[in-house]
Amino acid sequence: GRRNGGSESLLEFKKGAFYLAYCTHAPIIPIAVQSTRALYSWSDRRFCRNAVIRMRVLPPIATQSLAEEDIPALISSTRNDIQKACIALSSPAHANQQ
């Protein structure tokens, strides 16, 4: 993904990592990270102490059986899966499960 300027929605994914995984038949390991805004104070220009960031490693995605024309759909589905996981990580219900 790419930085999104504070929006909760993920920006469009670039294709380089997906193309590399396709070429090498390496699995894609999607990782969702809760918003990291709490880590850095832009007004103080420093990192905050004791911030908690939640992450979730999603199931690997095999690439052995993919064709090159499958890459755009793979990018889209991976982005959607990560976006859903990010939303779940940021939900108040998830925060109370600790």
CA distances to 28, 42, 66 from 13, rounded to whole Å, are 13, 25, 18
Low-confidence ranges of the chain (pLDDT < 50): none
The 10s digit of each residue's pLDDT in 50-73 is 777 889 999 999 999 999 999 999
- Size (the chain), residues: 98
Query: What's the predicted TM-score (pTM) here?
Result: 0.79
| 66/94 Cα distance (integer angstroms) | 34
